[in-house]
Amino acid sequence: MESVPPIVKFTSLQKRYGVGPVVLDTINLTVAPDDFISFIGPSGCGKSTILKLVSGLSPGSTGELTVMGVKPREARDRQAFIFQDATLLPWLTAQLNVEIPLRLRGRPAVERQTTARKMLELVGLGKVADYYPRQLSGGMKMRVSIARALTLTPQLLLLDEPFGALDEMTRNRLNEELLAVRSLSPFTALFVTHSVTEAVFLSNRIVVMAANPGRFYAEVAIDFPYPRRPELRGQPEFQAKVNEVTRLLHEVEISPSS
Amino acid sequence: MKKSFPVLTWFLPAVSGLIFISLWYGVRVVSGLQSWILPTPVEIVAAAVHEHTRLLAAAGHTALGALGGFLLAAIFGFFTSLMLGLSKSLRASLYPWLLVLQMTPVIVLTPIIMLWAGPGMPGIITITWLISYFPIVANMTQGLLSTDMNHVALFRMCNARRWQEVLLLRVPAALPYYLAGLRIAATLAPIGAIFGEYMVGNASGGTGGLGFLVYSYNTQIKIPALFATALTSCLLGFVFVAAVAWLNWAFLHKWHDSFEQADH
């Protein structure tokens, strides 16, 4: 490969909680700046743990992990996390929720307001800036959450099943919007999901994981060029990739332990 | 159903109230009891009108004591909870003793409080404070401990400082719990004040509070006036609860799920 420095690099990383069983075993992975990597696998395979390690919310046990050349915690300023649920603060309006990361960094009020407003408009929510989370639908809440993650224009975005609770139509639309936003404000993405279609549509690389202990089982390259159109989902090459990943997932579930 | 006649909030309570008052009259007529054992509602209202200067002055006195104790409990309760909610070791060292204090009946402590705080208003306020303090602390501490872990992770990801986490996340998240504590305290504060006044008698001078009136009317066997005092205390309690309910509404109605419209 060229000499572009990796955004994230796992070197024989192992993770266990205390003296408990190994949660992740011998993880090796090099993430390039333009990667959109999806992690998919049975529950308990440690795919969410991958994101926790990269964000520095949870430390690795042995092996090495660097994020943008430094320790995960030191790279926090340049990464953002999008959680399974929208995790909006219910007492703040959409606008003020999006401002939170800027507020925590002590940015001046004017800058906070204009940036947050811009981000809300980017995800198509300029009109509901003054709504409280309880007045928003599930899909809108998730959009606010995405806007909030983007306020600091992170180089690396970690997404932990962000669309898992949404209906399929909303999910598809948000998938398209996420890619559209990414073309305007580029970021490397590590994406955890249960949905094969979603993974194939979004990613250029899919890592299929196995459980007990959690480990990488196979990697599938998805070469469709970006920007990707919604029609892509109907094409036979797309379906072939979906089938390939689904088959790998079946293999993983049939042989659960090594 | 939009803005129809408020059957549930007004009509049904009014009907059940009327039935209750009729039963009251019925019992009085059938049993042939004397007015000084069971006065009729009309006799009570008459007594209230007759005694209204004393009752109003006493209610003012009690309101002052209750408000003083309530505010102390609200302020100290807030800061105690912050200490307990944010430090595991402080919680471990202090919470059991707060429970011990809560388990000790205030009636047992009253003579000691009077001895230390002095009879009259300071003692009354201290008793009210003690009675309404614990529910505030218990609720707010619970609230500080039940902050959503994902919200905490979000703040950690943004490298939030400890004070930012407390001020922007934990305290607002605990606010509904604090207000729930205040609601309980609001029902307890007038009780505390009246109890205190009953125990101190008229040591603070003037008319004394409602608690003193209870004592005074009782010894004079002015039973309808005693009932009128009960009615006044009840109204005072309502004012307290209504004030806190308003506070609760003012802070929460815009965002909290408890104010969600059913047909939203």
Among A55, A57, A132, whose Cβ lies nearest the Cβ of B255?
Answer: A132
Residue B158: closest CA among chain A residues belongs to which residue?
A: A101
Q: Which residues contact B252 (CB under 8 A, 6 or more apart)?
A: B175, B176, B179, B258, B259
Residues of A in contact with B256 (CB under 8 A): 90-91
Low-confidence ranges of chain B (pLDDT < 70): 1-6, 201-207, 261-264
DSSP string, chain B: --S---IIIIIHHHHHHHHHHHHHHHHHHHHT--TTTS--HHHHHHHHHHTHHHHHHHHHHHHHHHHHHHHHHHHHHHHHHHHHHH-HHHHHHHHHHHHHHHHS-HHHHHHHHHHHH-TTHHHHHHHHHHHHHHHHHHHHHHHHHT--HHHHHHHHHTT--HHHIIIIIIHHHHHHHHHHHHHHHHHHHHHHHHHHHHHHTTTT-TT--HHHHHHHHHHTT-HHHHHHHHHHHHHHHHHHHHHHHHHHHHHHTTT-GGG--TT-
Among B154, B159, B256, whose Cβ lies nearest the Cβ of A87?
Answer: B154
B168 and A87 within 8 Å at the Cβ level: the answer is no
Among B164, B172, B256, whose Cβ lies nearest the Cβ of A104?
Answer: B164
Task: Give the mean pLDDT of chain A.
Answer: 92
A134 and B156 within 8 Å at the Cβ level: the answer is no
Residue B172: closest CA among chain A residues belongs to which residue?
A: A91
Distance from CA of A250 to the nearest CA of B (A): 31
- Is residue A54 pLDDT above 90, yes or no? yes
Q: Which residues contact A211 (CB under 8 A, 6 or more apart)?
A: A41, A42, A43, A44, A45, A46, A252, A256, A257
Distance from CA of A141 to the nearest CA of B (A): 14
Distance from CA of B174 to the nearest CA of A (A): 11
3-state secondary structure of A87: coil
Domain-by-domain residue ranges, chain A?
Answer: 8-85+162-254
pLDDT per residue over A11-51, tens digit each?
999 999 888 888 999 999 999 999 999 999 998 899 999 99
The reported pLDDT for the residue numbered B263 is 47
The reported pLDDT for the residue numbered B2 is 47
The reported pLDDT for the residue numbered A19 is 84
List the CATH code of the domain at A8-85+162-254.
3.40.50.300
A104 and B254 within 8 Å at the Cβ level: the answer is no
Residues of A in contact with B260 (CB under 8 A): 134
Structural domains in chain B, CATH included, are: 39-253 (1.10.3720.10)
| Least confident range of A3-7, A76-80, B105-109, B155-159 | A3-7
CA-based angle A168:A174:A176, to the nearest 5?
105
User: Would you say A179 and A227 are in contact if contact means Cβ atoms under 8 Å apart?
Assistant: yes
pLDDT per residue over A160-186, tens digit each?
999 998 999 999 999 999 999 999 889
- What is the average pLDDT across A147-170? 93
Residues of A in contact with B173 (CB under 8 A): 89, 91
pLDDT confidence tier of residue A258, bands split at 50, 70 and 90: very low
- What is the average pLDDT across A101-108? 93
Q: How far from the centroid of its chain's Cα atoms is residue A112's Cα?
A: 24
For residue B134, the one-letter residue type is F
User: Would you say A248 and A227 are in contact if contact means Cβ atoms under 8 Å apart?
Assistant: no
Residue B254: closest CA among chain A residues belongs to which residue?
A: A132
The reported pLDDT for the residue numbered B264 is 44
The reported pLDDT for the residue numbered B262 is 54
pLDDT per residue over B9-52, tens digit each?
888 989 999 999 999 999 988 988 888 888 999 999 999 999 99
- What is the average pLDDT across A128-142? 94
- What is the average pLDDT across A115-119? 94
Q: What are the tokens at B239?
A: 């004012």
A57 and B153 within 8 Å at the Cβ level: the answer is yes
The reported pLDDT for the residue numbered B33 is 84
Residue B253: closest CA among chain A residues belongs to which residue?
A: A91
Q: Which residues contact B263 (CB under 8 A, 6 or more apart)?
A: none
Residues of B in contact with A57 (CB under 8 A): 153, 156-157
ipTM: 0.86
Distance from CA of B142 to the nearest CA of A (A): 18
pLDDT per residue over A182-229, tens digit each?
998 899 999 999 999 999 999 999 999 999 899 999 999 999 999 999
User: Would you say B260 and A132 are in contact if contact means Cβ atoms under 8 Å apart?
Assistant: no
Residue A51: closest CA among chain B residues belongs to which residue?
A: B157
